[in-house]
Amino acid sequence: MVALCSLTVAEALNTTSFVTLPVYTARARTYVAKTESSGLGVFASTDVARGELLFREHPLLVYPQMVPFHSFRPPGEQYPELDDAISKLSATDRQAFFNLANSCPYESSPTKGIIDTNAVHIGLLSGSQAEYAAVCKQLSRVNHSCSPNGHYHFCPSSLSLELRALQPISAHTEVTISYVDPTLPRAARLAALASYAFTCTCPSCSLPESVSPESDARRAFLARTVTDDAALSRWARDPSLPDAMGALADRAYVRACEAEGGLFIEDAWTAPIARLVKACCALEDAPGAREWARRGRELSLAFTGEDGGWAEVERWPERTGWWGLRRRAKEAAATAAL
């Protein structure tokens, strides 16, 4: 059973205020264990490739992020809608909720403290203009890293959340997600994480002060989204330009991602990877095109749970409109010179 807090949420889902959903029965590829410095965490139980599913689960609670505060009620009882939602969970799920960490000692309501510590953002729900969040039995136990190896996304049709590998993960390695925008400078990330009552010790946040600005600059570069293919198109059709010039900036983008621990940004990675595929296709480099398309397929699976059309390009790069553009441009130039 999933607790849906408030009638507004229920109306947005066109359902009753509480719904029972089918349990996801596929074997999870994770387990919960104690970490060295972050309490409990989630670990991969087997090797997991980028894009592969770690687990899928229905949340314990879905609620609008703007929850009314009833100041006239006694301390600890000022969020009755949340308390009512949790009370309607099964005994097992209710216990799982109260077993989650509470890093908000200033909050008189244990329910609200647990929610503020463990909630994950899920965005807009159909028919509503409010932003929503969820508290989960497993996902809420995944710890933070500014260079995460995991990524979650919300599936509105099934009211479930998926956790997938953003990087290849070896068995018994801790799985992490980012609680904040990882492209922020280190100082801004640490400030944003202060409410979670821990100090991030990921490789980026642990850099010496002398080199930290370089990491900040790379992360700012990764946040930039350039969707225009005009420069690549000019290169593909101009035989006077060297072959090695194709998608130079996009190769630099991938190097920056790798320098930051394999950090690919959800709203920015698609265009650079697509241009690298196109550059290889223009040069009739099928192995290169397939390798970049494979990377695109894995990243698309990691971020959305779908291959995004990359699998077809990976299988048949020769069928793209970019195939052989450099050769044809050179042949045209040679013919014109006769």
212: Cβ–Cβ under 8 A, 6 or more apart, which residues? 186
Every domain of the chain with CATH number 2.170.270.10 lies at 2-182
Which CATH fold topology does 2-182 show?
Beta-clip-like (2.170.270)
d(CA 274, CA 247): 10
DSSP string, 185-231: -HHHHHHHTGGGT----STTTTS-TTTHHHHHHHHHHHH------HH
Q: What is the pTM of this model?
A: 0.89
Contact 265, 222 (CB under 8 A): yes
* pLDDT tens track, the chain, 338 positions: 566 664 344 444 433 333 444 444 446 799 999 998 888 999 999 999 999 999 999 999 999 988 899 999 999 999 999 999 999 999 999 999 999 999 988 899 999 999 999 999 999 887 778 899 999 999 999 999 999 999 999 998 888 999 999 999 999 999 999 999 999 999 999 999 988 888 898 899 999 999 999 999 999 999 987 888 999 999 999 999 999 999 999 999 999 999 999 999 998 999 999 999 999 999 999 999 999 999 999 999 999 999 999 999 999 999 999 999 999 999 999 998 87
Cross-strand bridge partners of residue 61: 3, 135
